[in-house]
Structure 1
Amino acid sequence: MRIRDIVPVRSPKVLAGMARQRRQWARPGVEIEVVPIEAGPYSMEFATEEVLAGPHILAAVRKAENDGVDAVVLDCCVDPVLRAARETVRIPVMAPLHSGLHVASMLGSRTAVLSMRNGQQTIEEHIRAYGFERKICSMQVVDCPPADLIESQQYCLDVIHREIEAALSAHRAEAILFACTAMSGYVDGLRKQYDVPIIEPMACAINMAVSLVTLGLSHSKRCYETLPVRGTAPGSIDIP
């Protein structure tokens, strides 16, 4: 089974860190391919960057299906162009925030979400759109850049500790969901220190992708309908 992790940014530090970390979820019979988009924004924190990356993400998703990949994961908690990606292909397309929220909802009734300051509004909009607003007890801000998070720098860990403590004491959180895929490197150590689930969203997305392939399932084409063939006009953009 081949799972392709599409990284929607071009930051060299982030790309290197994700290529190193994501393969930890490989296992006998499951290959994890980490592939960045060919062109796109340096980081993925704002709606503008999602729009800029969108065409390149969709091209990468189409290529994955054409390459015979079994499922795709979009490696960012902005869940960039998730609906469009599912409209584009028939193989499963998973996204970390969407997957992580589902897992968190099964493990506790009060989830604290730890997100970056930049892009927090997008995360909150997704939570409402996905229908999880009543499950979220707090939004905690980890004010560190992705490149520092991916390198697991000590000051970032100090910030994460502070926000987890605040979520537990002030908001009675029963589960902690990271809402930035650059935080993956902190999870193992933190799970040893707290008595609540610390949920890593990329692990959720990748393992859900594996499960869907195993079950022979993918997203509904009644929900994520493929675009019909249309005509062209001067200035119109053809859909590949």
Structure 2
Amino acid sequence: MEIEVRAVEQGPYSMEFATEEVLAGPHVLKEVRRAEQDGFDAVVLDCMVDPVLRAARETVSIPVMAPGQSGLAVASVLGKRISVIGMRNGRQHLEEHIRAYGYADAVVSMHAVDVPPAELIESKPHCLPTIEFEIRRAIENHRAEVILLGCTAMSGYINHLRTSISVPIVEPMACAINMAVAMVTMGLSHSKLCYESLPKRGSAPGSIEII
């Protein structure tokens, strides 16, 4: 298995709000199309809010996986009561995805770590106690059986958390990557009856090229 990480060349600094998803969307879709053209077998979007996931699946035929949907799917088979430890910014956006994916009844609580994603990556000793505190609060106050990390910037904390916390800690990016590998191994991709490709259209002056 070979994994290549590609950065989106343009777009917002972070991806926490619906506005940022819209601004990033054309650039994400451009990289998704390029990945298929370059012969990659699957694409994984690196953000817990699953930016433009439906559009990406409409755009290409190879599997496109995302951390939010994948992480929730894995967490749901590990226990019946899931708590999400995420970011304060964009919390409503993530909650909308949880409802849309059908996991609203399984997620018993959401807890906010009030630091920006960049600080999660750069200041681990400072952020770790806050994350651990919210996890323990989820277990004690909400009887959480599974913890789902609600930001892919938290992936660097997983090894420590799994040694100090007694319930399963689900890291969503790992879920998305392994699901993508599984789809390729089984020869599966998303249904084009569900994620139908756009029909060929004429273009009007000044219109945006999307295919």
- Give the Cα–Cα distance (whole angstroms) in 1 for the partners of residues 189 and 166 of structure 2: 34
Aligned partners of 1:152 and 1:185 also within 8 Å? no
Q: Give the AA of the match of 2:102.
A: G
Trace 1:193-212 onto structure 2 (pairs within 5 A). 193-212=164-183
Which whole-Å CA distance do the structure 1 matches of 2:113 and 2:205 have between them? 46
Structure 2 residue 184 is matched with structure 1 residue 213: yes
Q: CA deviation at 1:194?
A: 1.4
- Hey, what does 2:15 align to over in structure 1? 44
- Structure 1 match to 2:5: 34
Deviations 1:119-149 (A, max 9, x none): 1111000000000000001001111111111
Q: Deviations over 1:57-89 (max 9, x none)?
A: 000000000000010000000100000000000
* Residue number in structure 2 paired with 1:122: 93
Q: CA deviation at 1:152?
A: 4.7
Gaps in structure 1 of 5+ consecutive residues: 1-29
Provide the C-alpha distance between the structure 2 equivalents of 1:206 and 1:189, rounded to a whole number of angstroms: 21
CA–CA distance in structure 1, aligned partners of residues 123 and 80 of structure 2: 29
Shift of 1:160: 0.3
Q: What residue number does 1:100 align with?
A: 71
* Correspondent of 1:192 among 155, 163, 184: 163
Q: TM-score, normalised by structure 1?
A: 0.86
Partner of residue 147, structure 1:
118
Indicate which of 131, 138, 155 corresponds to 2:109: 138
Distance 1:236 1:147 in 2: 35
**2:31 counterpart residue number:** 60
Amino acid at match of 1:151: E
SS of equivalent to 1:36 = coil
State the identity %.
68
Q: Deviations over 1:94-131 (max 9, x none)?
A: 00010000000000000000110001111000000000
Q: Which of 104, 110, 116 is residue 81 of structure 2 equivalent to?
A: 110
The one of 26, 32, 45 aligned to 1:74: 45
User: CA shift at 1:236, angstroms?
Assistant: 2.4
1:6 maps to which residue?
Answer: none
Q: TM-score, normalised by structure 2?
A: 0.98
Give the gaps of 5 or more residues in structure 2. Answer: none
| Structure 1 runs, 4 residues or longer, greater than 4 Å off | none
Alpha-carbon RMSD across the aligned residues, in angstroms, is 0.8
Q: Which has more strand, going by share of residues?
A: 1
Query: Would you say 1:222 and 2:193 are equivalent positions?
Result: yes
Per-residue CA deviations over 1:144-182 (Å, capped at 9, x if unaligned) read 111111135222101101100110000000000001000
